[in-house]
Chains A and B, each alone.
Chain A
Amino acid sequence: MTVPGSWYLALSAVVFAIGALGVLTRRNVLIMFMCVELMLNAANLAFVTFARMLDDIGGEALVFFVLVVAAAEVVVGLGIVVSIFRRRHSATADDLHVMKG
């Protein structure tokens, strides 16, 4: 018995929604980074599923591009967090309130 492709798509949509909700509601910056990763990986799962359903290798190749870009993005993000940590010792979005308006 094979699992139909639509189930994978549903899973991918659920993971994407969890990630998006996490970015919007969680206040810890590291958790927010992880939620962005969840969203990107949900997109990867969708790519692979569609590639399988369409019988096209292209979609599987795209996953590698997304993986590399996600890795580069996280490196920069963690660098920014570290540079803020040096100034103050927390990483909550609520502490970032110098600017308002």
Chain B
Amino acid sequence: MSAPPGITELAAAAAKLAIPHIDYLSVLPIMVMLGGAVVILGWSSLLRRPMDSGWVTSLTVLTASATLILSLFQWGAVLAHGAHTHIDGAIVQDGFSAFVSVLVSCIVLVSAVIADSWLRREGVDGPEFQVLLLLSAAGAMTMGVANDLIVVFLGLELLSIPLYVLAALNARRAESGEAALKYFVLGGFSSAIFVYGIALVYGATGTTDLPQIADYLARNVLLHDGLLLAGLALLLVGFGFKVAAVPFHLWAPDVYQGSPTPATGFMAAVAKVGGFAALLRVFVSSFHLLQNDWRPPVWVLACITLVFGAVVALWQRDVKRMLAYSSINHAGFVLLGLQAASNRGVAASLYYLFVYSFMVIGTFGVVSVVGGRGDRRHSLEAYRGLGARQPWLAGALTILLLAQAGVPFTTGFVAKLEVISAAVHAGSTDLAVVAMVSAAVAAFFYLRVAVLMYAPSGAGSEHALDGLGIDPAGATGSSGPSMPAEAPVLVARGEAGSVGVPATVVSPAPGAVDETIPAGVAFGVGLCVAVTVVFGIWPETLTSFAQHATLLLRP
């Protein structure tokens, strides 16, 4: 009995299918990242007892270092042989993608080292945290190399889904689950909007390949471009959610506050890097010819993001919420580089993302130490007198906060200067003025924390309460009605845990929580501070790195 004719036809068609040639070298960094995650997860599930977290961290650092080296090789290859597309045009290997890969590898490296001590302190067993870190980073790298809208979407989801789980990882805290659910619902919502945007762009241009879209726009004058512009708007909304630009920022404060602190630092860095990498590539290189249509909305977006982030951060009493609004403010600065729609703007945005990542991870590293066991002490008052209790910790935080404020001789200053000058160069002087004003406003809340750390720790009853994590005004979101009942427990823990701190320092109540600096945090935060200061004083290396990280299709 012969096979039905439909089947034979199908087999004949399948034989004719052209499978694209896959150049594995071009995706090797991403494969190493994913492979590392799978190996760690597989290995630890074969063991009888939970894997020692030191081992997991070492393997993660090893994977991230291997990715870093491979990305640097790719960078060298691009400089030597120029940019190429691979896998039937789905993947591009250019300076831009190599820069993003290098940056993402560094983010994983520093975050994994900082998170190690937090995992031990909170008793979060298992390799999940580090595995999710690697998976999410692979997503961000995919967004960096994506040369097709559907690859951008895959990268976006690979970036986001592990982040939802990371937010939920601390199952003992109610805030953690709440943050994860809010992030998930709004993230899924924004992904759906993004996919619909892809569908409309596909309908208008007949392709999802980024260079082909640019080609189509160059060769056709669209009489009815409503479909394309609607698609473009939906793409912008989808990206806006990911990078937390106002008015799509609603998830950010709650998610930053509720997530485990080291995860917050990672999330703040990697989601912005991945989101902005794809946003810059899609808008600046593919839709360059439509820039008269998309630059005004991005102008408005950047303007309200800059102002809103800086102003609302002023009256936050919780440091993690304050940093969330500050990261919204930083997103506004990166949007400045996008709005310029020039090579210079892209380089400035990339540079900003690079230095911002180190600043924000280092800052959250310090916050995770000050937060103490249970991730509770995040009110501003917990920082009072930190300079006397932990001079090194306070010094590092001061430098990182000053850098975020954009003080000269730090990378933050150079970064702000670069994006603002790119905006001026592109003719958006008014936006540059808004950015400078918002930087001045933002400096106020960064300095407030810095000043508070070196203020004398008052021995009044109010401050004694603050030291225990209780906010007498009840302004902190995290201190619920259950806190007073837990206070005696905290005191007991604090006394038991204050090994290595002289008793005289501990005797006033604010010192009653263990704030000794674990080695991992010392190394990670030290690295962030070093990058911030060294490249702030000698910025040439890093700025030229960013300037050579050009897109395959230059505007």
Residues of A that sit less than 8 Å from B by CB: 9, 12, 16, 19-20, 23, 29, 32-33, 36, 39-40, 42-43, 46-47, 49-50, 53-54, 56, 58-59, 62, 65-66, 69, 72-73, 76-77, 79-81, 83-84, 87, 93, 96, 98-101
Contacts and interface: CB of A to CB of B under 8 A. Distances in A.
B180 A80 contact: yes
Contacts of A80: 164-165, 168, 177, 180-181, 184
A40 B189 contact: no
Given A23-B189, A39-B196, A69 B477 contact: no
Given A65-B154, A80-B184, A101 B318 contact: yes
Contacts of B253: 99, 101
B178 A77 contact: no
Interface string B182-204: 10110011011101101110110
B203 A40 contact: no
Interface in B189-231: 189, 191-193, 195-196, 198-200, 202-203, 206-208
A99 B477 contact: yes
A65 B192 contact: no
Contact of A36 (B153, B154, B189, B203): B189
Contacts of B206: 54, 56
9 contacts: A36-B188, A39-B192, A65-B153, A69-B154, A73-B191, A76-B161, A77-B184, A99-B179, A99-B477
A40 to B, nearest CB: 5
B517 interface: no
Given A19-B192, A81-B181, 9 more contacts: A39-B192, A39-B193, A43-B199, A54-B206, A65-B154, A76-B165, A80-B180, A96-B181, A99-B477
Nearest to B255: A99
Contact of A47 (B178, B182, B189, B202): B202
Nearest to A61: B150
Given A43-B196, A50-B203, A58-B207, A72 B181 contact: no
Contacts of A40: 191-192, 195
Looking at chain A's contact residues, the main secondary structure is helix
Nearest to A13: B196
B174 interface: yes
Contacts of A47: 199, 202
Contacts of B200: 46
Contact of B196 (A16, A53, A98): A16
Interface string B232-255: 000000000000000000000110
Contact of B177 (A49, A50, A66, A87): A87
Nearest to A53: B203
Contacts of B179: 99
B480 interface: yes
A98 B135 CA distance: 29
B157 A72 contact: yes
A80 B180 CA distance: 7
B316 interface: yes
A34 to B, nearest CB: 11
Contact of B202 (A59, A69, A79, A81): A59
Contacts of B26: none
